[in-house]
Amino acid sequence: MTEQDTVDGRKLRGRRRRAQIIEATLTIVHRDGASGVTHRTVAKEAGITTSLTLYYFATLDELLVAALTSVTDAYTQRIRQLVDTADDPLDGLARLIAESAGPGRERALAERELSTLAARRPALRPAAWRWRDSVAELARTQSDDPDIVEAFVALCDGLCAAILLGDRGADPEHIRGLLGGVLRHTGP
């Protein structure tokens, strides 16, 4: 085994440990809310020592930013694929939003709670904006009117919140119709 193999092995273990800590954080956010996240609760959830969570994330803000970034990066990647390859990116976005009522509920709930927390914790704001920026990018493929793009992003935000507040499924076709309606709007 070479020195490079040892270094690469340590890096891989470090990435895995970070991912484990982030997943534990998201589990706590889903179960107890963001207020339940501490280095101690995350360590307990992950089955590691508190000092190890502090080694990877020195502050609570670093830990929360990493958790939010994990979720927003996944959404951003999916939206990027829609922008780059989808015949109907609005349909894809509608389906992504509708997932908040089903298999994507836990991640969507964590993203929503951590994004809302960004209003009080400025360190979270860049990660909180990442999803919205991706949605705006998708909207700009359909309209170059900045007001329409802003309304589109606000509608997506509102739909996600409404789905999480509701206790029933979400209809992607209905969501698709709402998204298309905003993009067809041309005046005040």
Residue 164, both tokens = 């999480």
CA separation for the pair 169, 80 (Å, rounded): 25
Instruction: From first to last of the 188 residues of the chain, give the pLDDT tens digit.
Output: 555 555 578 888 889 999 999 999 999 998 999 999 999 999 999 999 999 999 999 999 999 999 999 999 999 999 999 999 878 999 999 999 999 888 888 888 888 999 999 999 999 999 999 989 999 999 999 999 999 999 999 999 999 999 999 877 799 999 999 999 999 875 55
Taking a C-beta distance cutoff of 8 angstroms, is the pair 29, 67 a contact? Answer: yes
Residue 60, both tokens = 């609570």
